[in-house]
Chain A
Amino acid sequence: MKNYLNIKEKVKDTMSDSLSISVPSKPEYVSIVRLTASAIAYGIGFNIEQIEDIKVAISEACTNVIKHGKCEISDNYQIDFLMDEEKMTICIEDNGNGFCRNDVCEPDLSSPKEGGLGIFIIQTLMDDVRIATEVGKGTSIQMIKYLGVDF
């Protein structure tokens, strides 16, 4: 968690703008997060495909917070958007159960599972993903999408 905070501070130093929202830990608010992320991404010039990637990635992160976070239903979690001329950085933090990083792997098509795709999807759709997680203490995800880069 500490490492993540250092990263965030470093990122903030070089950023020109930031926007933070506090979101209730309830499923019905994830679509609002998607709309917010789309509007910000559109504003800095991402194309439609990149905006769709960002929408899915941020939803997956919110879904993880709601499903695995220890937040009471009345609790909020924080999302920070950091924007500059070359990229958009999104930071999401929860105080949930954390997870074992070895559990994240490519989907096994011979026995597909109903869950466990979220982090894999985030890592595939975003350009740079940093996850700080500690079992019992929570998870922070920082994800970056660069303008003009399309893998």
Chain B
Amino acid sequence: MPLNIISKFNESENLWMMNLAGEIDIYTANKLKESLTKVLNEKSESVKIDCEELDYIDSTGLGVLIGTLKRLKQDDKNIIIYKPKPNILKLLNITGLNKIFIVEGE
């Protein structure tokens, strides 16, 4: 299944809204990386990742998010994982990444 990404800057919350739909694995992780790099080069602000339609993620996708968070932390910004599905939340919990990213709407 492909990965669809829609990014939009939310002026009122002053953060990037990124909607992910589909699956993030070794094949699609690079697309996520490119999208994140593109928006952050435009404006280095926190990113809220809407995972409501994200069905699958593994360590390749988590690696991209960790790399992006490291960059954002230099500017004191964050990644917010919004509405992750139970399988994605489980992966965040077992890797301890739920303590590093902000998880909302679980």
Residues of A participating in the B interface, judged by any CB pair closer than 8 Å: 27-28, 30-31, 34, 49, 52, 55-56, 59-60, 62-63, 66-67, 106-107, 109, 112-115, 117-118, 120-121, 124-125
- Smallest beta-carbon distance A59→chain B, Å: 5
Most buried by A among B67, B70, B95, B100: B95
* B23 shortest CB reach to chain A, Å: 6
Q: Is the CB of A59 within 8 A of B100?
A: no
| CB–CB B64/A117 < 8 A | no
Assembled-state Cα–Cα distance A107/B97 (Å): 9
Contact check: which of A31, A117, A120, A125 meets B1 at CB < 8 Å? A31
The verdict on B94 contacting chain A, using a C-beta distance below 8 Å, is yes
In the complex the two chains form, is B67's CB within 8 Å of A114's CB? yes
In the assembled complex, 30 residue pairs joining A and B whose CB atoms fall closer than 8 Å, in A order, are: A27-B27, A31-B25, A34-B25, A52-B87, A56-B56, A56-B91, A59-B58, A60-B58, A62-B26, A63-B26, A67-B26, A107-B97, A112-B66, A112-B69, A112-B70, A112-B100, A113-B63, A114-B63, A114-B66, A115-B59, A115-B63, A117-B59, A117-B62, A117-B63, A117-B95, A121-B58, A121-B94, A121-B95, A124-B94, A125-B94
* A interface SS class: helix
Interface residues on B, range: 20 to 34
| B1, B86, B90, most chain A CB atoms within 10 A | B90
Quick check: B87 and A49 within 8 Å, CB to CB?
yes
Shortest C-beta distance, A50 to chain B (Å), equals: 11
A49-B90, A117-B95 given. 16 additional CB < 8 A pairs?
A: A27-B25, A27-B26, A30-B26, A30-B27, A31-B1, A31-B25, A52-B90, A56-B58, A59-B58, A106-B96, A109-B99, A112-B70, A114-B63, A117-B63, A118-B59, A121-B58
